[in-house]
Chain A
Amino acid sequence: MVLTAQEAHKLILSGHAPEHLTVQGTLSFKGEKRLTHLPAHLTCDVLDVQECPRLKSLPEGLTTGTLLAGYTHLETLPSSLKVKFKLDLEGCTSLICLPQGLKVGSLIVRDCVNLKTLPEHLEVYFLDVSGCSAMEHLPAQAKVLGGHVVLRGCTRLKALPSWLSKVACLDLRGCENLKELPTTLQISGWVDLADTGITHVNDHLQVPLRWKGVPVESRIAFQPETITGQEVLDTDNAELRRVKLERLGYEAFLSEVDAQILDQDTDTGGPRKLLKVQMQGDEDLVALWVICPSTDRNYVIRVPPGMQKAQQAAAWIAGFDDPRLYQPIMET
């Protein structure tokens, strides 16, 4: 039976949908509390069952172009499942395994915290496994066909398999137990190595490096001891300056540049300090040192040299010359 998405939506929620239903368009049940099951052998272009709290399993024979099933209580998927383009299972915290031999364009299992491995003979173009903190190893046999691979926050992962040989971009942020990259690996775009155990990149790779999303030269990644406080101060881009500051170390930076604390208080991110560094042959450098409440990253942002109070500096940075007008109700 071929139905429109609207017709199928109504029929499925009524509990009387037949098997072997074909639906054209996007069949969306997002956030639908009444959805408990789908009919077997359902075929549709896009199926969206995100945030459906009572959907515990998917039916046999489900075939879709895109399946959005994030933030559900799925534990497994049927082995007969076919998804052509994109399978998004973000935040499925009950998910413990995926079917063997799964083939899909993009696989997203971000924050599936109970997933310990991916299936054998997996075949994908794009793979996002970020936040899978229980992931201990990748399968022995699988294929990534040249797309982005995101393994960010896979803190238990100790090695990358040799089948991971050609990728566009590789995000390994926070993979603290990962000590090296496979010699067979080729990366056409960039690799992000922040907070990994990797201390060098094989010469053959010649790949641009990133540190928490910021393009860096290899010296910043692997020889942070060569960064000076003055170099940090001389860096124009705030993100690159932040990375250099982080690699050098905040204490080392402040001690090296002989910073004087003019004022300190506390904001949403934590302690906040107004610092002054006397510069040779130049006006004083006065900067506010703040911590971002969302990322816990430290930022040092320069303000006019006459500033006296941390709150005054924060208000100025936000665009307020009169600090009394800076009263944010939410900061993230």
Chain B
Amino acid sequence: MLYRHGDVLIQSIEHLPAGAQERPGTILARGELTGHSHRIQDPATVQLWQLHGEIYIEVTAGLAHLIHEEHKTIPLPKGIYKSWMQREYTPQAIRRVLD
């Protein structure tokens, strides 16, 4: 299952990778200029994890809601997900989309 929430991608995976560390809070990504953020609405529904710069979402409740000030909400069923950002090409480097 793959979801796109603006410039954030979320894909369901089988297991958390070994060595993932707990990540506090519920924010997946924050806009550099706007201060807006992609985040899980209710902290009680998830535990975030991180490993090598990647964020993993463990939805512990029946449903968690992925929200943002400007994007429609995506309901995520219970399970494990990997989250990453869109990328953009430049002649110098491939980088995450800056917003």
Contacts and interface: CB of A to CB of B under 8 A. Distances in A.
Say what secondary structure dominates the interface of chain A: loop
Contacts of A240: 33
B45 to A, nearest CB: 15
A160 B2 CA distance: 46
B98 to A, nearest CB: 5
Interface in A304-332: 304-305, 316-319, 326-332
Contacts of B88: 238, 301-303, 317
B72 A294 contact: yes
Given A295-B70, A317-B87, A332-B74, A213 B34 contact: yes
A305 B36 CA distance: 31
B82 to A, nearest CB: 10
A3 B72 CA distance: 40
Interface string B26-48: 00000111111000000000000
A292 interface: yes
A150 to B, nearest CB: 12
A239 B74 contact: no
A283 interface: yes
B5 interface: yes
A215 B31 CA distance: 12
B6 A318 contact: no
A174 to B, nearest CB: 13
A331 B4 contact: yes
A295 B33 contact: no
Contacts of A330: 3-4, 74
Contacts of A331: 3-4
B56 to A, nearest CB: 15
Given A214-B34, A303-B88, 8 more contacts: A237-B33, A238-B99, A239-B33, A239-B34, A294-B72, A295-B71, A316-B89, A327-B2
Interface of B: 1-6, 9, 31-36, 70-74, 84, 86-91, 97-99
